Amino acid sequence: MNANLAALEPALLLPPLIAGWLVLATHVPLGRRVLARGIIFLDLAIAQIAVLGVIAAHAFALADDGWPTQLAAAAAALAGAALLAGCERRWPDIQEALIGSTFVVAASLGVLLLAGDPHGGEHLSELLTGQILWVGTSQIVQIALLYAALLGLWWLRGSRLGALGFYLIFALAITASVQLVGVYLVFASLILPALAVRTWPARSGVIVGWLLGALAYAGGLIASALFDLPAGPAIVIALAAVALFGGPVLRSVHRCKN
């Protein structure tokens, strides 16, 4: 596999890199909370419900990538979040099983809705792997404003949000990022940096997790451009590599300093 150095075009790589860093801004702190609560697959379930909303909007001929699709995705994700928050209150002992069941039902409904669409497989693949290379400036501005509002609410309210508040913030963040980077990158951005810094204190853990994720996004995008690889999967692998090797190295350095 030959590297194509001419593909390292800043004008092409900078917008998706900024978009990925914005995703990490919300997903690293949310990922640490998910790990602490022991609901690892919550993001996959909420992401798949948001995807179901997008697929439903597509199936019923609403404007692709327009406000009707955005509203359908957000409404589906918020409804799913409220449902899972209620399940956690009533059946906390089987919450993870209910989350997994919700994911597989939402995924199956999406497949059924796309069954009669000749381009359904392609559309589903785009939602799973994302189209981060084609993100535009307007999308970046919109998601930056949304994430700023969500992070502001997160830091102001903190633990006072309660289970329902956490689920609703989670749903809105996931809905936005799924349509920006795809389901696979949403899960990887949420869980892998958080795993790498799971033993770190709250504030430093978020900062180091974000830095590791930012490095992985840059490395994945560069590898994608150099070797003409799909950007989303390349970044997922980079996130896994950074979490696997970067986390232990940083923990060792941190222990040596203390």
pTM of the model: 0.85
Average pLDDT on 9-31 reads: 91
For CA atoms 76, 47, 11, 193, give the dihedral sign. positive
pLDDT at 36 over 60: yes
DSSP code per residue over 21-40 = HHHHHHHHHHHHHHHHHT-T
95 contacts 34 by C-beta, under 8 angstroms: no
Distances (CA, A) of 210 to 24, 43, 106, 190, 201: 6, 18, 30, 10, 14
Residue 229 Ramachandran class (φ > 0 left, ψ -120 to 50 alpha, else beta): beta
Spans of all domains in the chain: 5-253
5-253 maps to which CATH number?
Answer: 1.10.3470.10
Q: Which two tokens stand for residue 56?
A: 């439903």
Q: What is the pLDDT of residue 65?
A: 56
Tens digit of pLDDT for each residue in 217-254? 999 999 998 988 899 999 999 999 988 887 677 666 65
Q: Which two tokens stand for residue 249?
A: 């190295």
Tens digit of pLDDT for each residue in 60-117? 766 555 667 778 888 898 998 888 888 888 888 888 889 989 999 999 998 898 887 7
Residue of 66, 65, 63, 58 lying closest to 116 (CA atoms):
58
Distances (CA, A) of 131 to 50, 177, 232: 16, 11, 7
Give the integer Cα–Cα distance in Å for 151 and 213.
18
Residue of 178, 133, 172 lying closest to 153 (CA atoms):
172
Q: Which two tokens stand for residue 227?
A: 């070797």
Largest CA distance in the chain: 61
